[in-house]
Amino acid sequence: MRIAVIRFPGTNCETETIEAVRRAGGAAQLIDYRETSLGGCDGVILPGGFSYGDYLRSGAIARFAPVMQPIKALADTGGIVIGICNGFQVLCEAHLLPGALLHNAAQRFSSRPVDIRIERADLAVTREFAEGECIRIPQAHGEGRYVADAETVAALEADRHVVLRYVSVPGSDMPHNPNGSVADIAGICNPAGNVIGFMPHPERLADPVLGSDAGHRFFTSLVQAGAVEMTG
Amino acid sequence: MMFRVHVRVTPRPGLLDPQGTAVEHALHALGFAGVGGVRVGRAVDFALEAADEAAANADATRMCERLLANPVTETFTVAVES
């Protein structure tokens, strides 16, 4: 699998995202938002940042960029599409995932480590984890409060489409649910499980030189998922 | 015909609006004790060329549905003046 990492005007996490994929042994390539094809890539990461300055609503304008057409086509045919932070916001605005992300309940930008639990360990970015495993990775966002109507949230829970959830780890000094997301949701997937969006930033903690590489396995999972897909 | 369109977007009722809450607290701190239920939204004003007022209204409504408002979290109103 070759991963297209998309850059919109205002994206700022593309370099470390590409680096994280490569560190995990995968191939990644930067794709400009004006492109109408994915240049032969068969997987996509929409990285973090502030596409179009977060004007109007975060992700609202990026949704209409030319590159979203081939991304939607890939998603519709079961291809892997991952949204990290602003990428998650774009996927919600594009209706590739349900719900929306609003200003944090505390009305402050939240840049800190968070404890999250892996709720699904059978997806493209989580297969190298154990279900229920808790890890600590960074988050950095002003609009990360996941909201959806009650029926949508009930369906996400019943169908196990919640992928990552904020948790309090005993003895931790980290705040539980740092943005006020409904049901402590940090990340979700679509019914087919091939479109996945989450707020925390595993690519920012994917190299042991930083003191932890807790996010590394998101990318080894992704590379592994691609290898399985190619041979199977 | 040229019309002036005023779109008003507000957070859906019942949805937590932290901006509104912060503004309300600030207004109370300024002594406006009677203030309650503050909701902060956004206004989008623009000129629009359309055949008639009904067409302008329909166009603006489609703009709101596609881009200017997110139906998951927001409601909108459209006012058209010639």
Between the CA of residue A184 and those of A160, A180, A187, B37, what are the distances in Å?
Answer: 14, 7, 9, 26
Is residue A85 part of the annotated active site? The answer reads: yes
Residue A110's beta-bridge partner residues? Answer: A141
Q: How many CB atoms lie within 10 A of CB B53?
A: 13
> What ipTM goes with this model?
0.89
Residue A201's pLDDT is 98
Query: Cβ B22–A103 below 8 Å, yes or no?
Result: no
Over chain A, what is the mean pLDDT?
Answer: 95
For the stretch A142-186, pLDDT in tens is 999 999 999 999 999 999 999 999 998 777 776 788 899 999 999
Q: B73 touching A, CB under 8 A?
A: yes
> How many residue pairs bridge chain A and chain B with CB atoms within 8 Å of each other?
36
Residue A169's pLDDT is 79
Residue A226's pLDDT is 84
The mean pLDDT value for B10-27 works out to 94
Is residue A176 part of the annotated active site? The answer reads: no
**SS3 sequence of chain A:** CEEEEEECCCECCHHHHHHHHHHCCCEEEEEECCCCCCCCCCEEEECCECHHHHCCCCCCCHHHCCCHHHHHHHHHCCCEEEEECHHHHHHHHCCCCCCEEECCCCCCCEEEEEEEEECCCCCCCCCCCCCCCEEEEEEEECCCEEECCHHHHHHHHHCCCEEEEECCCCCCCCCCCCCCCHHHEEEEECCCCCEEEECCCHHHHCEHHHCECCCHHHHHHHHHHHHHHHHC
How far out from the chain centre does Cα B48 lie? Answer: 17
Residue A142's pLDDT is 95
For the stretch A13-70, pLDDT in tens is 999 999 999 999 999 999 999 999 999 999 999 999 999 999 999 999 999 999 999 9
| Chain B residues whose beta carbon lies within 8 Å of the beta carbon of residue A104 | 18
Residue B65's pLDDT is 97
* A contact set with B (CB within 8 A): 56-57, 60-61, 64, 92-93, 98-100, 102-107, 145, 147-149, 180
pLDDT at A232 over 90: no
Query: Cβ A56–B18 below 8 Å, yes or no?
Result: no
pLDDT at A231 over 70: no
pTM score, whole prediction:
0.95
For the stretch B22-74, pLDDT in tens is 999 999 999 999 999 999 999 999 999 999 999 999 999 999 999 999 999 99
The mean pLDDT value for A197-217 works out to 96
Is residue A13 part of the annotated active site? The answer reads: no
Selected catalytic residue, list A13, A85, A92, A189 = A85
Percent of residues, chain A, with pLDDT higher than 70 = 98
Instruction: Give A74's pLDDT tier (boundaries 50, 70, 90).
Output: very high
Closest chain A residue to the Cα of B9, Cα to Cα: A56
Residue A230's pLDDT is 63
